[in-house]
Chains A and B, each alone.
Chain A
Amino acid sequence: MDIIIRTVTKGLFPFIILFGVYILFHGHLTPGGSFPGGVIIASGIALLAISFGLRKAERVIKEETAHIVEGLVALFLVLIVLFESFVRDILIPTGSVFELWSAQQILLLNVVGGMMVSMALILIVFLLMKE
């Protein structure tokens, strides 16, 4: 890729990831949630992989790491569902509207689901680019 895309990517990459994380954590307050947030994070990695090649992107997150994280996150999802009452009564109360630490288990589900989405998408991008 040419120099313009490389330079822009270098500057923009952290902010894309940051924006994705923001969308994940504010899913219960503003439009967005697990899927858009995960897609934004994954698109940041995909941009890196396209402009600098797969090697550079693998330095940020390896393929095996993505596999492991996805599995762990799925396990965590099961745990949240199992300990639902603990989460909704003690850990995160209902709170009031437009407050970050609120809305019971929805916050956790958003974050965990978003991680799963982003890992799956990163894996798809890596596998397709290896062809």
Chain B
Amino acid sequence: MFEVYVGTVVVALIGIYCMVWKKNMIKKVIGLGVFTNSIHLLLIAIGFRAEGIPPIVTLGNINYFALRAVDPLPQALVLTSIVIQLSVTALALGIVTLAYRHLKTLDTDRMNKLRG
């Protein structure tokens, strides 16, 4: 499990780096996606259980079920979070296209109308 956590941190750092230091707007949006997915990875890793069974109660032994069934909640959380990320990304791309229409470039250094 330790490797997964380290991997999550590395991916999250790549995402934050991409969002903060890259000058291209599209790259910033991609960084947003990378960062979000690293957190999804963390959530899925939290819900992981070796040799788990699906969390559907059938006519089986309830003790065996409690011992082996995976936790369904992180997966539900990740699904919700993916939907949210989808809407945020769509809105971000819309704003980027509008910004391109105004500025004729994707460089964030040219966005300097608001200062002070």
Bound state CA distance, A35 and B80, in angstroms? 9
Q: Is the interface of B mostly helix, strand, loop or mixed?
A: helix
Residues of chain B from 62 to 116 with CB closer than 8 A to chain A in the complex: 79, 82-83, 86, 90, 93-94, 97, 100-101
- When C-beta atoms are compared, the residue in chain B nearest to A29 turns out to be B56
Q: Are B82 and A124 in contact (CB under 8 A)?
A: no
Which chain B positions have C-beta within 8 A of A2?
none
Bound state CA distance, A35 and B94, in angstroms? 22
Q: Are A128 and B58 in contact (CB under 8 A)?
A: no
Residues of chain A from 88 to 131 with CB closer than 8 A to chain B in the complex: 97, 121, 124, 127-128, 131
Which chain B positions have C-beta within 8 A of A124?
90
Bound state CA distance, A71 and B100, in angstroms? 31
Q: Are B79 and A35 in contact (CB under 8 A)?
A: yes
Bound state CA distance, A35 and B85, in angstroms? 13
Q: Are A97 and B58 in contact (CB under 8 A)?
A: yes
Q: Are B83 and A128 in contact (CB under 8 A)?
A: no
Bound state CA distance, A128 and B79, in angstroms? 24
Which chain B positions have C-beta within 8 A of A121?
86
Which chain A positions have C-beta within 8 A of B58?
97
Q: Are A35 and B90 in contact (CB under 8 A)?
A: no
Bound state CA distance, A128 and B95, in angstroms? 10
Bound state CA distance, A131 and B98, in angstroms? 9
Which chain B positions have C-beta within 8 A of A127?
94
The answer to whether residues A35 and B97 also contact, given A97-B56, A97-B58, A124-B90 and a CB cut-off of 8 A, is: no
Bound state CA distance, A124 and B101, in angstroms? 18
Q: Which of B56, B83, B93, B101 contacts A35 (CB 8 A)?
A: B83
B97 CB to closest chain A CB (Å) equals 4
Question: A-contacting residues of B (Cβ < 8 Å)?
Answer: 56, 58, 79, 82-83, 86, 90, 93-94, 97, 100-101
Known: A35-B82, A97-B56, A128-B94. 8 other contacts (CB 8 A): A35-B79, A35-B83, A121-B86, A128-B93, A128-B97, A131-B97, A131-B100, A131-B101
Question: B-contacting residues of A (Cβ < 8 Å)?
Answer: 35, 97, 121, 124, 127-128, 131
